[in-house]
Structure 1
Amino acid sequence: MSTVQNKQQGKQQGRIGKATSRVDGKLKVTGQARYAAEFPAEDLLYGVVVSSGIARGSISSIDTARALAVPGVIHVLTHENRPSLPWFDRSYQDDDSPSGSPFRPLYDASIIFSGQPVALVVASSFEAARHASALVDIRYKADKHQTDLDAERDAAYAPKQGKDGFEPPPKPRGDADAALKKAEINVLADYATPVEHHNPMEMHATTVLRDVDGNLTIYDKTQGVLNTQQYVTGVFGLKQEQVRVRSPFVGGAFGSGLRPQYQLFLAVMAAQELKRSVRVVLTRQQMFSFGHRPATRHQIALGADKSGKLLAIKHQTVSETSRFEDYIEVVVNWSGSAYQCDNVTLDYKVAALDVYTPLDMRAPGATLGVYVLESAMDELAHATGVDPLALRILNYAEQDQNTGKPFSSKELKACYEQGAAKFGWDKRNPAPRSMRRGKTLVGWGMATGFWDAMQQPASAKAVLSVDGKLQVSSATADIGTGTYTAMTIIAADVLGLAIEDVNFTLGDSSLPQAPLEGGSWTVSSVGSAVKMACEAIRDELLSIARAMPDSPLAGASAEDVEWTEGRVQRVGQPAASLEIADIMRSKGLHSIEHAVDQKPESKQKKYTMHTHSAVFVEVEVDEDFGTVAVKRVVSAIAGGRVINPKAARSQIIGGVVWGIGMALHEETMADHAMGRFMNHSLAEYHIPVNADIHDIDVIFVEEHDDIVNPLGAKGMGEIGIVGVAAAIGNAVFHATGKRVRELPITLDKVI
């Protein structure tokens, strides 16, 4: 594959920035889109996982006789009869694993978390496997366990920077303790957030198709087919050409598909052991047995003068991790870069519990840390008598004090201005309990959102046929974010083609490499590669066109022409044009193909690159019952260039809805005496429903940034949720005069 330098795009009829319906929408609504558990196979076997009933200890005995006696049952895999694998020497880690020793299913008799897979029943039908799974008789020796973060808080430790690229808190600047003592106004508060689980609609599943030569085609629910492929080859000692992974559609993931989950391992192990095709699908309850947003405990202190000017910030966080890996997030760093303050101390520690390792969940770290910071800023606004919006503008940061770097772009003030105008913030009565509507208290709150704008190396291939059809491909994913459509728009924009004439392929490990889909970096990374591949085709076409006999484009530069409707023409001169098909035929070309590898440009290292938002919320609180309803939300986003406003708006709305859930509903409750999650179903794990969601307005603030990537796009997947919970909590305080510092804000805490 060749590396192609980015060139100026030239003038053309643009597709970018126009609201475009999903190109994959019809397949999804008509049921033609197939997910990991829906691909057919001849002679397919079905595996059902048996889960541990204790949180810590060991297996004393496993009796599989009754299960094996069920008609149709082929095998029951346990730690006693599983095959030996290269992975069991603990040498292999996947691309998204934190530092430590990854969990290895069926390795030995040890139990290290509740719900741990301890057996796989394989049968010729799902029904037989499910029935037999209940007949596996397992006896345990239970050891003392600890799943309560508060009980282990004093034993928390500072994690080391590992291979996952964790950015530790910056060193203290100034003297925060001394500044707090001198400050005229102090805010000292403890905040707490609970465990949350991802709960995508599609449960994790793997279908392994094994051919007669032992080659595997794997359909997996994943946010990165290449990561799955590397995992399987590394764990099972296979060659890359023996394993092909496909994941054309994903029914939501939110981070749960970044790491290979244990159903993948068990399905491949069974397929290899039995030399058959195997499918393993986790139950909804088992979706609570791997990964989650970690519980956190925070102490935050803000010091300011009477005007509200920040003099000191201290933010200390303890987060949970497992005993076998150090899961770490960037939680407190935001408190050092969000606002101008010369005295800052940040501290982040983790406490090991008898749980599965937590897992990235939409806007990991920022969702938690910014919630605490923005809640404390509202407390400071109340203490100083300064309007919450005015307080943030007063302490506006013109550069990142954590690093001393300027921002590549920052239109946060425009977010404040446009969001406040749309919301009507100037009509807010600042006194708590001062606004009413009938029998309900009305509260208005706001918060700022922050997220990293990142770019990763990625590759893409583009093939233009003489019939005017463009095929573009990259091994990225679409977890419901609209990747298919965004890449189609980018490709069509470069060559001035109709959306219908472009086909983008993803979710296949045989395609050009791409990073995991996460972190809001897919458009910036894969989109930049798609742009460059299509530009290489465009440049070749223009070169041919200039050399054609009597060419109307002779001597034309890239800036002199525009690409539209399958033609290239001099700018503003439709008569001076050539059909793309005629250009290709002049050279006898049936197709033009270019593959590119792109990397972030070195100039990015000189800047801090962030996406910003301002969230304004109105709540109604029933004074008698303490129930909270979010009636209005305005979210103003500065996210660089917006590729598809229609999909981007949906991304932000989805993030806002999740923020409402975080603030008012979501909590995975644990029985610490048993060490297990109790509300492990969608019936008892509370999330917002239609009746909970009212008016949500999204504003995209114009922002130009030529540093972040060639497209100038920052990504929208994560920023939508950041700051929403804080804005709601702040609104609840404004409505009631009561500050709830422990999420979720349930009626018992309000009254």
Structure 2
Amino acid sequence: MTAIGKAFDRMDGVIKTTGAAKFSGDQLYPGLAHAALTHASIARGRIVEINTTDATKVPGVLAVITHHNAPKMKLPTSRLGPAVTGGSVRCLNTDEVHWDGQPVALVVADTQEAARAAAARVHVAYEQLPSTVEFVAADATPQKSSMVQSGSARKGDAVAALASAPVSVDREYSTPPQNHNAIEPHTTTALWDGDRLTVHDSTQNIDGVRTTLSSAFGVALDNIHVRAEHVGGGFGGKFQVWPGTLLAVLAARVTGRPVRLMLSREAVYRTVGGRTPSVQRVAIGADHDGRMTSLIHTSATRLGRTGGSPEAVTVQSGHLYDAQNILLQQNVVELDLVANTAMRAPGEAIGTFALESTVDELAHELGMDPIELRMRNEPTRDPIGDKPFTRRNLRAAYELGAKEFGWEQRTPQPRSMRDGQWLVGWGVATAFHPPVHLVANATLRFSADGTALLRCAFHEMGMGAATAQAQITADALGIPFEAVRVEYGDSRLPVGPMAGGSNQTATVAGAVTAAAAKLRRALGGEVSVAALARKGKSHVEVSVGFGRMGNQVRLVSKFLRDKRNWVRATTGAQFCEVRVDADTGEIRVSRWVGAFDCGTVINPKTAASQLRGGIVLGIGTALSEETLVDPRTGRIMNPGLAEYHLPVHADVPRIDVHWLDEPDPTMPAGVLGVGEVGVTGAAAAVANAIFHATGKRVRDLPITLDKVV
């Protein structure tokens, strides 16, 4: 291999830095109109009157669409259902209100300014019905298990083992709701041409958008063209089809004009789900040598009453430590709020906070180095299922990270390290994320000019996906990286996987390597211009993959095989240094080292960027991010970047990331995935460092200075 492992610049770098890249909100069509939403101001009830007179008087208004005049939509009732649509409510097809923020009117105008001004002039009267909007963990009930996710797991009798353990810690933690804040808000530009539909959508699930729109508007799949060449971040918030996409298409159908609906930042918060809050209990029992005899991890999270996805909060706790007895239980409570959804490393991002904080607390109780405690409980096989790991070298990741961080210089006692006014603390935590492996179709063409063209409808959300696939293609064919072109982000291309679960690089790599092998066979074993000339052809093109039903069969069989045979995960060690002002409690993250066992690294430059980005999100989780929901009304009180506090440059130190670069033998190109693992363990590393600096253990995120002083 000559391309894999090299730090090539991103193929789309120039067009994005010069502004030439066109996103969904940059598409121009003659007669383009703009749409805006009017949101419900109650959590649950019925619309008894809706007055659009003032809205229609705004100059430039073309239409005001409500449940009185909106065409009917039909959301999918198959396995896709709310999992792809983001909820079961057909907005504007009902007078029922299910959450504060639900779209109840849609205004279309000549300009975006006119549309938003008119939307604010739609007056709605409601009959309010009783609602439940406050998250109370005690109201949660056991989560049901599914093929995708287990609600519970156990080994032995963890309760009895905890009671008899010589040393134990039993703690409760909480994490708040969070919202995605992609640099590009959700945007859809839609155009009808008879019964043919073109949609530019900021999505990380092109095929899911196409399938949902086909069902909603009764249009054949082949008549729907979804384009998403460039997406300005997603983090899980753009996987599902939220009301904005459906209503933009509906507006285009009603007006007969191309329509763009670009959600305001507030509209994103109120119509697009975010991360659920959680309350977690972690209890660990151990002998005096630190060998874990019991590990209990339970969680309570929320779902919207109209949809949502349970978070796999306890999943890492069944795989990370070789405890003799383990009990895991996830619980959920349904509320009258917008359906929650996946947010980068869903489950593990907040689950590792509780688990890894408790491990740190146990180390303190034992008077043991927290790395030594973890290594004493490092399993050789999966602790619950006794299945082999596809690969696991967490020991080496810890050794690498500790060396780069200088961990041996740490003094163990809290408040023992100081630099003038600053209390200095060092914390560590384990990162864990199980990547999924899906299916993809692809075509590969080799031409007489020595170039290759890869075509697959995968997604580019800023992570350098096309660059990585060009590197994989180059090595699979034995040609230079510069000779590869890649087409992606378009439903007219062979079906690609959704971008999520850290699956996309490996999944598309599987299709690429299969297509490359097929192309080699077609050319007699050698991909070269000479081989093509011997065939007397100007090019050779091959395809791999199956139809929709065939891909479903492949996906299910792959999932069941993986689940039966082994446990696959990216792991790592997060090292954090914080400085806390001894008088004010001001917290600064001053240094970070992450070391990861993440399989083959295709491109060190883009991989490092992904890992650093995840760590930054983890710092935000630890110190600042919190969606505030009024417990009386269900209204999100800080729907925008003025009051929802993301980490800025001043909050983020230099982040050094390292990896082992050892391939996973069960994955295409040995890739495991780096998109989400950087988030996991990060919040715990910060919390553990703050405890080391101050002697105060904060178990409720975010860790603000009032919780430290």
1:88-103 map, 5 Å: 91=77, 94=80, 97=83, 102-103=88-89
| Residue 82 (str. 1) matches residue 70 (str. 2) | yes
Which residue in the other structure is 1:149 paired with?
Answer: 135
| Residue 234 (str. 1) matches residue 221 (str. 2) | no
Which residue in the other structure is 2:29 paired with?
Answer: 41
Task: Report the residue type matching 1:581 in the other structure.
Answer: V
Pick from 235, 244, 248: which aligns with 1:263?
244
Which residue in the other structure is 2:607 paired with?
Answer: 648
Q: Deviations over 1:4-23 (max 9, x none)?
A: xxxxxxxxx52001111100
Which residue in the other structure is 1:224 paired with?
Answer: 205
| Residue 686 (str. 1) matches residue 667 (str. 2) | no
- State the Cα distance separating 1:79 from its structure 2 match: 0.9
Q: Secondary structure at the match of 2:686?
A: helix
Which residue in the other structure is 1:110 paired with?
Answer: 96
Q: Secondary structure at the match of 2:669?
A: coil
Q: Secondary structure at the match of 1:400?
A: coil
Deviates more, 1:50-59 or 1:192-201: 50-59
Question: 2-side partners of 1:472 and 1:333: how far apart?
Answer: 36
Q: Secondary structure at the match of 2:507?
A: helix
Checking the alignment, whether the CA contact within 8 Å between 1:92 and 1:235 is kept in structure 2 is no
Q: Deviations over 1:381-409 (max 9, x none)?
A: 00000100000000111111222201010
Checking the alignment, whether the CA contact within 8 Å between 1:195 and 1:668 is kept in structure 2 is yes
Pick from 358, 379, 384: which aligns with 1:376?
358
| Residue 252 (str. 1) matches residue 233 (str. 2) | yes
1:537-556 map, 5 Å: 537-543=519-525
Q: Secondary structure at the match of 1:406?
A: coil
Which residue in the other structure is 2:693 paired with?
Answer: 735
| Residue 72 (str. 1) matches residue 60 (str. 2) | yes
| Residue 313 (str. 1) matches residue 295 (str. 2) | yes
Task: Report the residue type matching 1:688 in the other structure.
Answer: P
Question: 2-side partners of 1:399 and 1:95: how far apart?
Answer: 37
Which residue in the other structure is 2:106 paired with?
Answer: 120
Question: 2-side partners of 1:67 and 1:733: how far apart?
Answer: 55
- State the Cα distance separating 1:273 from its structure 2 match: 2.3
- State the Cα distance separating 1:499 from its structure 2 match: 2.4
Checking the alignment, whether the CA contact within 8 Å between 2:192 and 2:257 is kept in structure 1 is yes
1:69-468 map, 5 Å: 69-87=57-75, 91=77, 94=80, 97=83, 102-150=88-136, 153-162=137-146, 165-170=148-153, 172-211=154-193, 213-289=194-270, 290-325=272-307, 327-468=309-450
- State the Cα distance separating 1:326 from its structure 2 match: 5.1
Question: 2-side partners of 1:701 and 1:126: how far apart?
Answer: 50
TM-score, length of structure 1 as denominator length: 0.90
Which residue in the other structure is 1:592 paired with?
Answer: 540
- State the Cα distance separating 1:100 from its structure 2 match: 10
Q: Deviations over 1:137-163 (max 9, x none)?
A: 11122233332212xx22211232357
Change (3 A) 1:728 1:101: closer
Question: 1-side partners of 2:101 and 2:15: how far apart?
Answer: 35
TM-score, length of structure 2 as denominator length: 0.96
Which residue in the other structure is 1:669 paired with?
Answer: 628
- State the Cα distance separating 1:92 from its structure 2 match: 5.4
Q: Secondary structure at the match of 1:538?
A: helix
Change (3 A) 1:686 1:527: same
Task: Report the residue type matching 2:278 in the other structure.
Answer: T
Which residue in the other structure is 1:6 paired with?
Answer: none
Question: 1-side partners of 2:578 and 2:706: how far apart?
Answer: 17
- State the Cα distance separating 1:285 from its structure 2 match: 0.5
Change (3 A) 1:352 1:75: same
Q: Deviations over 1:545-586 (max 9, x none)?
A: 6xxxxxxxxxxxxxxxxxxxxxx7xxxxxxxxxxx2222122
Task: Report the residue type matching 2:545 in the other structure.
Answer: D
Question: 2-side partners of 1:227 and 1:98: how far apart?
Answer: 6
Q: Secondary structure at the match of 1:678?
A: coil
Checking the alignment, whether the CA contact within 8 Å between 2:60 and 2:109 is kept in structure 1 is yes
Give the number of equivalent residue pairs. Answer: 697
Checking the alignment, whether the CA contact within 8 Å between 2:84 and 2:212 is kept in structure 1 is no
- State the Cα distance separating 1:93 from its structure 2 match: 6.2
Checking the alignment, whether the CA contact within 8 Å between 2:73 and 2:93 is kept in structure 1 is no
Task: Report the residue type matching 2:575 in the other structure.
Answer: F
Pick from 493, 504, 510: which aligns with 1:528?
510
User: Please, which runs of 5 or more residues in structure 1 have no aligned partner?
Assistant: 1-12, 546-567, 569-579
RMSD: 1.7
Q: Secondary structure at the match of 1:711?
A: helix
Q: Secondary structure at the match of 2:152?
A: coil
Question: 1-side partners of 2:291 and 2:112: how far apart?
Answer: 63
Q: Deviations over 1:53-110 (max 9, x none)?
A: 12222222111112112232111111111112333xx735647708996222112121
Q: Secondary structure at the match of 1:399?
A: coil
| Residue 24 (str. 1) matches residue 8 (str. 2) | no
Checking the alignment, whether the CA contact within 8 Å between 1:244 and 1:509 is kept in structure 2 is yes
Checking the alignment, whether the CA contact within 8 Å between 2:433 and 2:569 is kept in structure 1 is yes
Task: Report the residue type matching 2:515 in the other structure.
Answer: A
Question: 1-side partners of 2:383 and 2:466: how far apart?
Answer: 38
Task: Report the residue type matching 2:534 in the other structure.
Answer: S
- State the Cα distance separating 1:476 from its structure 2 match: 1.0
User: Please, which runs of 5 or more residues in structure 2 have no aligned partner?
Assistant: 547-553
Task: Report the residue type matching 1:474 in the other structure.
Answer: C
Question: 2-side partners of 1:143 and 1:91: how far apart?
Answer: 27
Which residue in the other structure is 1:582 paired with?
Answer: 530
- State the Cα distance separating 1:484 from its structure 2 match: 0.9
Task: Report the residue type matching 1:437 in the other structure.
Answer: D
Question: 1-side partners of 2:485 and 2:566: how far apart?
Answer: 35
Q: Deviations over 1:634-680 (max 9, x none)?
A: 10010111111110000001011111111001011122223211111
Q: Deviations over 1:230-276 (max 9, x none)?
A: 00001111101211100000000100011011111101111222322
Q: Deviations over 1:597-635 (max 9, x none)?
A: 285768644111111000111100001111111111110
Question: 2-side partners of 1:512 and 1:612: how far apart?
Answer: 32
Question: 2-side partners of 1:442 and 1:236: how far apart?
Answer: 59
Question: 2-side partners of 1:692 and 1:321: how far apart?
Answer: 32
Q: Secondary structure at the match of 1:677?
A: coil
Checking the alignment, whether the CA contact within 8 Å between 1:159 and 1:326 is kept in structure 2 is no
Question: 2-side partners of 1:654 and 1:406: how far apart?
Answer: 30
Checking the alignment, whether the CA contact within 8 Å between 2:282 and 2:355 is kept in structure 1 is yes
Change (3 A) 1:442 1:19: same
Checking the alignment, whether the CA contact within 8 Å between 2:81 and 2:88 is kept in structure 1 is no
- State the Cα distance separating 1:537 from its structure 2 match: 1.7
